[in-house]
Chain A
Amino acid sequence: MSPNHKNPVAPLTPAVFHIMLALADGRKHGYAIMKQVEVNGGKSLRMGPGTLYGSLQRMSVAGLVEELEDSNDNDNDDRRRYYRLTAAGRRALGAELARLRHALGASTRKGVLASAGTTSE
């Protein structure tokens, strides 16, 4: 993971981006994040526990996510640590999504997206 977290609007690594995307709709514990990353990114973006917790540690230090001590979730598993996006994390995710939208627009204008879609089918 690159040390881009010092600047919250700097581009994010794929692992960090997908963790943040997984946390966008609320707090989750580690395994739930892993499953959500798999849903959002597909099998090719499967994330293991080592990558997940290494990224979470650095994101926590950078102030992009915060760890929640207490848990009031339905599964009532107090031993699990929960994570949620901070305001800075939300801003960084928004900036990354804006970058992706811009790139998507450029790709569409150049016809790259259409040809990529044709070849992948």
Chain B
Amino acid sequence: MNRPSRFSPSVLAVYRAGVYLYHAEFRLRYADEMLRCAQNLLAETSSPAVTAYFLASDLFHSLLREHLAMTSPIRALPQLAMLFILTTFIAGTGYLISQQVLRMSANDPQIQLAEDGAQRLRDGEDAARLTRA
């Protein structure tokens, strides 16, 4: 067995935090055993960095798998409905704001033309010449 590396305790601390992300039932049943396995792996490895990467990768995939496995479509229906409403509200708000901005600036060219015309009339320009232009 190799001597535990300097950063093994840090890896284990991060791993412990990661294990906390499992759902309660799984965590209560297997967390201690998983930590013990991780500890043994780190104690026996000759390349702690590779083992840390292996543990992180396994943890990520396993977390994903466990959460997907426990999320049946029926049980997740309220959360999915909430997500649907929230997504619709955010997308709708974004659409309305962009439309409103577009509408508010739609008259800008016409207003500018009228203001320019009024200014030229005030400066004494002939109205007939102005309308021809």
Residues of A within 8 A of B (CB): 1, 29-31, 34, 46-54, 56-58, 79-81
- Cβ-defined contact, B33 with A81, below 8 A: yes
Which residues of chain B are near A49, meaning CB under 8 Å?
Answer: 33-34, 37-38, 41, 55, 58-59, 62
Known: A31-B36, A31-B37. A54 touches B29 (CB 8 A): no
- 0/1 string, B39-71, CB within 8 A of A gives 1: 011000000000000110111011101100100
- Cβ-defined contact, A30 with B36, below 8 A: yes
Contact with A48, one of B33, B62, B66 (Cβ below 8 angstroms) = B62
- Cβ-defined contact, A48 with B36, below 8 A: no
Label chain B's interface by main secondary structure: helix
Residues of B within 8 A of A (CB): 26, 29-30, 32-34, 36-38, 40-41, 54-55, 57-59, 61-63, 65-66, 69
- Cβ-defined contact, B26 with A57, below 8 A: yes
Q: Which of A51, A52, A53 has the most CB of B within 10 A?
A: A53
Please report the C-alpha to C-alpha distance between residue A79 and residue B34 in the assembled complex, in whole angstroms: 12
- Cβ-defined contact, B30 with A53, below 8 A: yes
- Cβ-defined contact, B29 with A57, below 8 A: yes
Please report the C-alpha to C-alpha distance between residue A57 and residue B34 in the assembled complex, in whole angstroms: 13
